[in-house]
Structure 1
Amino acid sequence: MKNIWRFLPFGLILLLTGCGMENLSALDPQGPVADMQYSLIALSLYIMIFVLVVVFLIYIFVLFKFRERPGDTHIPKQVHGNRTLEIIWTTIPIILLLMLAVPNVMDTFTLANTSVVSEDGEEEMDHVHVEVIAHQFWWEFHYPDLEITAGQDMYIPTDTRIIISLESEDVQHSFWVPALAGKQDNVPGITNEMWFEAPNEGVYMGKCTELCGPSHWLMDFKVVAVDPGTFDQWAENMAEPEEDVMNPEEGTVAADGREVFQDSCISCHAVGDEGGAIGPNMTNFGERQVIAGYLEYDEENLENWLRDTQEYKPGAEMPSYTHDEINDEEMAALIEYLNGLKILD
């Protein structure tokens, strides 16, 4: 029974490999940055396996060749040094380290270069600049060249260099989209930069990887890669949403919900160019797949989130709304309005 404890570490490893990592894998790289980083991981792994195999082969060889035999009592020849062996076991590690160091240094300089000018310096490559601002416990994505701001979901065009500026409004966070690029820290008062590209359309999962408070583990986000035409349409509609999105038809439930939103939410959340910037921008809220970064998007979860924010994200700055503040009828209208905040067909 006591030998079972020897297998405990292996069991824990198997258990932890499945904890909270759905769609968060660096082993399915997408784009040049992820490909480079994956290649470095693979190179390191191959070298370590090579060293491990060689060491075990030598160990097994020595174990059998120089094992104690029955009746053999002679003292082995005493060897005080072997210049050839010393040169070999000094040279081989140097070669292995160089095999690791050279590509690591070269790729480090490539990944640190956020310039959008081509190598010949004659033209500017297609790019989108995104300022990623971390908050407790949500993500803000500001597109300075497009003069738009999004919350929680970062839309990007495919086959385009995405230049990321990382900042933080409160404590230290860390931005990580494993399928596209390695993590980089969001540090208060410091702007870090990185870049990546997404060759394929799709939704790429992202996470905060720096302990930043009681709801750190719930600080998820998504990178939504769409074709350049769809991205241009999204950016245009984010800047100037259609009138029926901003102002639902009079007499409808959604119009009543907009009044509730104006009374209770507009000081923190913006729709289009109206409202505050304390919380996430809500212009395309109805198109999100999750609420608060991780809850499945449905009306029940949305109402629960609005009624008791701290139950679902402890430490979040968003207030909860009791039945005395927003009654059931008003809540239903507000949810109807939020569900209608969509800017893409």
Structure 2
Amino acid sequence: MKKRLHKWRLIALLGIVGLVLSGCGEPFLSALKPAGNVAQSQYDLLILSTLIMVLVIIVVVILFVVVLLRFRRKEGDETIPKQIEGSHKLEIIWTVIPILLLIVLAVPTVVTTFDLADTKAMDKKDKDGKTKDALVVNVRANLYWWEFEYPDLGVVTSQDLVVPTDQKVYFNLTASDVKHSFWVPAAGGKMDTNTDGVNQFFLEFDSKKAEDSNNLFYGKCAELCGPSHALMDFKVVTKSKSDFEAWTKDMKSAKEPTVTGDLAKQGEDVFNQSCIGCHAVTPNDSRPEAARQAPNLATFGEREKVAGVLDHTEQNVKNWIKDPEKYKPGNTMTGTYGELSDSQINALAAYLLQLKVEGK
């Protein structure tokens, strides 16, 4: 009796722990709070399939309880209940009902799948080879950072994806090293980024939902890609159409950064000697993709995170430069440059924190 009671207590404890853990997590990483048409369509399918499954479970449980109570054998009763084997009526019922449920689920699923796979707008080009009526972003996943290139605008950013609201944004997804997966939970389902092909899809951000989220969403890598997979985050900033056009203008017209102060100027020299081979400091970077081996740092001074994971403080910038392996194991920056002295790190941090796009 005590052993049984102990088992039930253990089961109850595990149930409570599971319930508590199900409520953990960050609200801005929830797929259950859709912020656009794509996410809403997928959410509606999720609710439909869940309702069908719950309905089936309820019916099965009710039938089970009825049979258990009504037809259980009583002591001394040798009566055999009426057998229904071969009943055409019942066989038709329990065959037709699942078929109808599958149709109810399959039709909207197939329709939505084809709608969300429609990227024909990306193929319509003007005489200059630019996409005519669609905003296209080339997403390139790397160990462990993200690059966002706006090919028709001549703009490249890293870690921060900037998109307009109430408009479809089309994506070309690739990877530089291993397979990753691009996922903005609030905007829509994930899609793999491969090294040997390009995947395409679109997302759309609702302006009202974006306003409720302070025009800020977060994305992650959803494919196990290495020791720092869980740290491969990026930020999504949403803007109105007019604000996005203003942002685009600032980014396209940005010039080489000009820093002030002796320490920052010393840091610029250190950067040009140690970092410029991989990093760029202008968003209108015209180098080919193969030459862009590290995140674009043009807007580094405006970011909210260092390396996507640390709070954007001067000390954290220094910590990252000194020992990136400590914060993102397996990152490609580790071991790619010589040892810097503390004074060089201080100067480099001062320089990086002044990297901002003019006009903002």
TM-score (norm 1): 0.90
Deviations 1:311-334 (A, max 9, x none): 111111103699x84333332222
Whether the aligned pair in 1 keeps the contact of 2:216 and 2:238 (CA below 8 Å) is: yes
Q: Note the C-alpha offset of 1:68.
A: 2.7
1:17 and 1:222 mapped to 2: Cα distance?
Answer: 24
Deviations 1:74-106 (A, max 9, x none): 232334321111100000000000011000000
Match of 1:197 in 2: 204
Match of 2:126 in 1: none
Match of 1:259 in 2: 269
Q: Secondary structure at the match of 2:181?
A: strand
Q: Secondary structure at the match of 1:23?
A: helix
Match of 1:236 in 2: 249
Structure 1's 116 and 212: CA in aligned 2 closer, same or farther, altered over 3 A?
Answer: same
Worse-superposed segment, 332-341 or 294-303: 332-341
Q: Secondary structure at the match of 2:68?
A: helix
Structure 1's 248 and 76: CA in aligned 2 closer, same or farther, altered over 3 A?
Answer: closer
Give the counterpart of 1:142 among 142, 149, 174: 149
Whether the aligned pair in 1 keeps the contact of 2:71 and 2:81 (CA below 8 Å) is: no
**Alignment RMSD, CA only?**
2.3
Taking the TM superposition and a 5 Å limit, the aligned residue runs for 1:25-40 are: 25-40=30-45
Whether the aligned pair in 1 keeps the contact of 2:267 and 2:351 (CA below 8 Å) is: yes
Give the counterpart of 1:153 among 160, 164, 168: 160
2:59 and 2:82 mapped to 1: Cα distance?
Answer: 25
Whether the aligned pair in 2 keeps the contact of 1:307 and 1:321 (CA below 8 Å) is: no
1:236 and 1:260 mapped to 2: Cα distance?
Answer: 30
1:61 and 1:20 mapped to 2: Cα distance?
Answer: 40
2:259 and 2:286 mapped to 1: Cα distance?
Answer: 15
Match of 1:121 in 2: none
Match of 2:180 in 1: 173
Q: Note the C-alpha offset of 1:49.
A: 1.0
1:133 lines up with 2:143 in the alignment? no
Match of 1:342 in 2: 356
2:107 and 2:202 mapped to 1: Cα distance?
Answer: 21
Q: Note the C-alpha offset of 1:263.
A: 1.6
Q: Note the C-alpha offset of 1:126.
A: 5.1
Amino acid at match of 2:268: R
1:260 and 1:321 mapped to 2: Cα distance?
Answer: 15
Worse-superposed segment, 310-319 or 104-113: 310-319
Amino acid at match of 2:353: N
Structure 1's 211 and 20: CA in aligned 2 closer, same or farther, altered over 3 A?
Answer: farther
1:333 lines up with 2:338 in the alignment? no
1:91 lines up with 2:96 in the alignment? yes
Q: Note the C-alpha offset of 1:234.
A: 2.1
Whether the aligned pair in 2 keeps the contact of 1:238 and 1:284 (CA below 8 Å) is: no
Structure 1's 242 and 125: CA in aligned 2 closer, same or farther, altered over 3 A?
Answer: closer
Whether the aligned pair in 2 keeps the contact of 1:126 and 1:161 (CA below 8 Å) is: no
Match of 2:228 in 1: 215
Q: Secondary structure at the match of 2:31?
A: coil
Deviations 1:181-226 (A, max 9, x none): 1000001111000101111241111111111111111111111111
Q: Secondary structure at the match of 2:329?
A: coil
1:77 and 1:144 mapped to 2: Cα distance?
Answer: 73
1:115 and 1:216 mapped to 2: Cα distance?
Answer: 32
Worse-superposed segment, 326-335 or 308-317: 326-335
Whether the aligned pair in 1 keeps the contact of 2:322 and 2:345 (CA below 8 Å) is: no
Taking the TM superposition and a 5 Å limit, the aligned residue runs for 1:35-114 are: 35-114=40-119
Structure 1's 309 and 174: CA in aligned 2 closer, same or farther, altered over 3 A?
Answer: same
2:97 and 2:203 mapped to 1: Cα distance?
Answer: 35
Amino acid at match of 1:303: K
Q: Secondary structure at the match of 2:120?
A: coil
| Structure 1 residue ranges (4+ consecutive) displaced by more than 4 angstroms after TM superposition | 18-22
Structure 1's 314 and 20: CA in aligned 2 closer, same or farther, altered over 3 A?
Answer: farther
1:319 lines up with 2:334 in the alignment? yes
